Structure 1
């Protein structure tokens, strides 16, 4: 279990992020077209998991925009933005914002939040995902993790992108 804050108030998550050097837990997430994407779909490419509570909050939206901008210039790298939002919310947001260099995946019918230790278990965000970034190499091995200590703060984009080198 990890403790993160929301506007200074501490809340618990289900566990801890996968350890650097470990194999990333497999996942099934729902894409905006309602198809399912899995970790195996990204084998052979580096993958940034941009994980957050909801696309409809300012910090979460900013992270999607920033990773979209970065991803457009990175070869052999995919960015998957993950939240418990319904796929329709991600499609609406990405369409309105012209976001086209990242993928989105909804955890609404999967165990992703438990498997990655990120689902909130206490507080007003129970059931949503804590803000985090997990970077995987081409073989699905974890090379970088960050669980953002204050939910309202942005992740360390530079550190996440540096882990891709």
Structure 2
């Protein structure tokens, strides 16, 4: 399992670690309008899944804005941001920051995404910062579990992986 810290304190990640070459686990999350969303809703597209603990905090906001700004430049790639924030809070944040090139999805109800992708922080019931690129056949082609939750991911590596995925 990935070794992850939150403000330098070790945390326990719940679920199975996802690795390059794995079939992407399905998930059930909520859209900002409270509809259920799963991996199947994005069939046939490359997915860059950006996972953040809480969208309304500094690094998480920067990460979401960065991927929103890059989303239209990376071809047939759908960018998703998943957090434990309530859908209402996500919608309010998205509208305030004019985020229009990615989908924000909430895992608050069941922590299904967090458990299926091994990013649920047991001690905090938040998601560990991570990036997953899933190709159009739902195979994992890139994974980054950020070792310190308060640090930024490797944006360039994630974007390059998304551009190369088919």
CA contact (8 A) 1:2 1:14 kept: no
TM-score for both structures, normalised by structure 2: 0.93
CA RMSD, 1 decimal: 1.1
Partner of 2:105: 105
Partner of 2:134: 136
Give the deviation of 1:55 after TM superposition: 0.8
Give the deviation of 1:51 after TM superposition: 0.4
Counterpart of 2:132 in 1: which secondary structure?
A: strand
Partner of 1:153: 151
Map Cα deviations across residues 74-106 of structure 1 (whole Å, 9 max, x no partner). 221001100111001110111000000000110
Map Cα deviations across residues 91-139 of structure 1 (whole Å, 9 max, x no partner). 01110000000001101123211111111113xxx21100000000001
CA distance in 2, matches of 1:3, 1:73: 32
TM-score for both structures, normalised by structure 1: 0.94
Map Cα deviations across residues 9-54 of structure 1 (whole Å, 9 max, x no partner). 2212114431111110001110011111110111111001100110
CA distance in 1, matches of 2:18, 2:137: 15
Map Cα deviations across residues 56-87 of structure 1 (whole Å, 9 max, x no partner). 11000111000000002222100110011100
CA distance in 2, matches of 1:131, 1:15: 15
Q: Unaligned stretches of 5+ in structure 2? A: none
CA contact (8 A) 2:16 2:115 kept: no
Partner of 1:66: 66
Q: Unaligned stretches of 5+ in structure 1? A: none
Which residue of the other structure, out of 121, 125, 128, is the alignment partner of 1:127? 125
Runs (4+) of structure 1 exceeding 6 A deviation are none
- Paired residue total: 162
Counterpart of 1:151 in 2: which secondary structure?
A: coil
Counterpart of 1:47 in 2: which secondary structure?
A: strand
